[in-house]
Amino acid sequence: MPAAHYEGHRGCEDEGPADSMRRDRVSWLTAQGGHRIRLEAATICQLACPSCPTTQGVVKAQIGAGFLRFEQFRRIVDDNPRISEIELSNWGEIFLNPDIERIIEYAYRRNVALSAWNGANLNHVRDSVLEAMVRCKFRVVTCSIDGATRETYEIYRRKGDLARVLDNIRKLNAYKTRWRSRYPKLLWQMIVFGHNQHEIAAARSLARELDMTFVLKTNWDPDYSSVPQRSSPAVTAAGGSPERQPAADPAVSPERDEAQSDGICYQLWNEPQINFDGALLGCCVNTWGTFGDNAFEVGLERALASPGLRYAKEMLLGKAPPKAGIPCTTCAVYATRSRAQRWLPPEPRGGLTRVLQRHGLGRWVVWIDNRLGRYLSPLVRSLHVT
């Protein structure tokens, strides 16, 4: 179907899954690889958060500053029918991308679930984009909100406006009511600093009022607004009790940090990171090297089969030594893993949804949720499609 058919239409009518599969030129039954990728929508941000590598110019210098183009997104979706989930957020603000509304609508029509788990600041979002997120069932947005008052919020989220962020969240909720949609699910993520820990309770209360899941995140930069030792670096979202202090030696870091680093390293298998320009970065942490071929130039399947990426996986499993030219070799996460000799174990195979996704049926799962999720919510929850 010609592109113009999609570009000019605003109703978010989706294809049936069979129609979607027939349109693809590659065989979705024999395609190799996983069902999920991370595809950077923007490495540009309008805020100036002090500890952020984007603010500091590191991201621009190493992987460039720019936006994912709609045509490149469409090609990835069309040529890879096995892909049914795409994470759009990482180093920048996805809603600054001028093509974001078209990307959201096209993903819905092709039965691809979009998410922004990594985060967005929601300072500047067009109303039409907010409504498209609801109409087209954008799955989840993690909203980075580090305070309950304007004064506290703007200490870290410099150039941000808390009132505008909350207004956009209220608009999203209004659209969800209008369209009778449970999507997007909204998370309020608050980084705990020394300057904002007194507002945790107020932020949690406001998140509850806005029907948002409240999540606390530890400040990873010890040189910026650290929490006093007696208070601990983070407070649990549920009860407000202190968590244990991070271990001084990264080789014996707390279990929660180990789990987080495992999740990052597993991205090479489960959701490989691709830059806005097609560069294969492997994971969400890497800004200093690529794994070989550009996914936009040679195709996603060929890029993910690169020798560099395969070798990196062997390194993370403890089956190969570090090697020059492999981004993992100079990664702090890998260095910690290597010192501790704590290699990645095989991941569990998962339930019914994972079986369907491994057999190239992930878009059927998304289609079921998009079309019938409101009526079949128990089934949808059992399939873990959100």
DSSP line for 23-79: H-SS-TTT--S-SEEEE-SBS--S---TT-TTTTTHHHHHH---B--HHHHHHHHHH
> What CATH homologous superfamily does 35-223+246-251 map to?
Aldolase class I (3.20.20.70)
Residue in the structure block whose two tokens are 């990052």: 264
State residue 114 phi and psi, 5-degree precision.
Answer: -100, 150
Angle between helices 332-340 and 255-270 (to 10 degrees): 120
Q: Edge-to-edge strand order for the sheet containing 273-274?
A: 213-218, 185-192, 140-144, 113-120, 85-87, 36-39, 273-274, 280-282
The two structure tokens encoding residue 82: 């096995």
Q: Tell me the pLDDT of the chain (386 aa) as tens digits.
A: 333 332 333 345 555 544 443 333 333 322 345 899 999 999 999 999 999 999 999 999 999 999 999 999 999 999 999 999 999 999 999 999 999 999 999 999 999 999 999 999 999 999 999 999 999 999 999 999 999 999 999 999 999 999 999 999 999 999 999 999 999 999 999 999 999 999 999 999 999 999 999 999 988 888 888 887 655 544 444 344 333 333 333 333 344 566 678 999 999 999 999 999 999 999 999 999 999 899 999 999 999 999 999 999 999 999 999 999 999 999 999 999 999 999 998 766 655 556 666 666 888 889 988 888 776 666 655 555 44
Upstream peptide bond of 184 is cis (omega within 30 degrees of 0)? yes
Side chain identity at residue 213, one-letter code: T
Residues 6+ apart with CB under 8 A from 135: 11, 12, 108, 175, 179, 181
Side chain identity at residue 182, one-letter code: R
Can you tell me whether residue 103 is helix, strand or coil? helix
pTM of the model: 0.83
Distances (CA, A) of 317 to 196, 261, 313: 39, 14, 6
User: Do 273 and 267 meet the contact criterion of CB atoms below 8 Å apart?
Assistant: yes
**Closest Cα to residue 94, out of 46, 135, 139, 37?**
46
pLDDT at res. 8: 34
pLDDT at res. 380: 55
User: Do 274 and 295 meet the contact criterion of CB atoms below 8 Å apart?
Assistant: yes
CA dihedral 187, 188, 189, 191 (to 10 degrees): -170
State residue 273 phi and psi, 5-degree precision.
Answer: -85, 130
User: Do 153 and 147 meet the contact criterion of CB atoms below 8 Å apart?
Assistant: yes
